[in-house]
Amino acid sequence: MLWIKALHIIFVTSWFAGLFYLPRLFVNHAMESNEATLARLALMEHKLYRFMTPLAVLALAFGLWLWLFYHISGGWLHAKLGLVAGLIAYHFYCGKIMRDFKAGKNARSHVWYRWFNEAPVLILFAVVVLVVVKPF
């Protein structure tokens, strides 16, 4: 089980690298007007999203493996799964934002994206406290 938990934590961490960096690119993208830079940011976002999506799938797969094969459960895990559902929605919403930028349809300011960038930090804080401290 410890190998599965280690792989779970490794892919969760890798997924979060993308969840932290992609919205940062959106902040820069929303402030940019130079055509060449806009195209480069769109390419970076596309490559990052394509890279972080399989990492998300592996993080979730090893989490499900821990839950379903080792019968680890509790109120903390149900609360955690609620937050994880929010994280998955955030991931797919980043995909929509990326496509909107590519199509020149972005309507949000860089300030909005700075606040948007904070959401994964709050979710990570809550999930790690739930899974390590198991308060309920």
List residues near ligand HEM by CB under 6 A.
5, 8-9, 12, 59-60, 63-64, 66-67, 72, 77, 84, 87, 124, 127-128, 131-132
How far is 61 from 8, CA to CA, in rounded Å?
8
Please state the closest distance from residue 113 (CB atom) to ligand HEM, in A: 21
Output 43 or 128, the one with its CB closest to ligand HEM: 128
* Helix (H) or strand (E) run with residue 34 in it: none
Q: Which residues of 10-41 are buried (b: 16+ CB within 10 A; e: fewer)?
A: ebbebbbebbeebbebbbebbeeeeeeebeeb
Output 76 or 113, the one with its CB closest to ligand HEM: 76
Output 67 or 112, the one with its CB closest to ligand HEM: 67
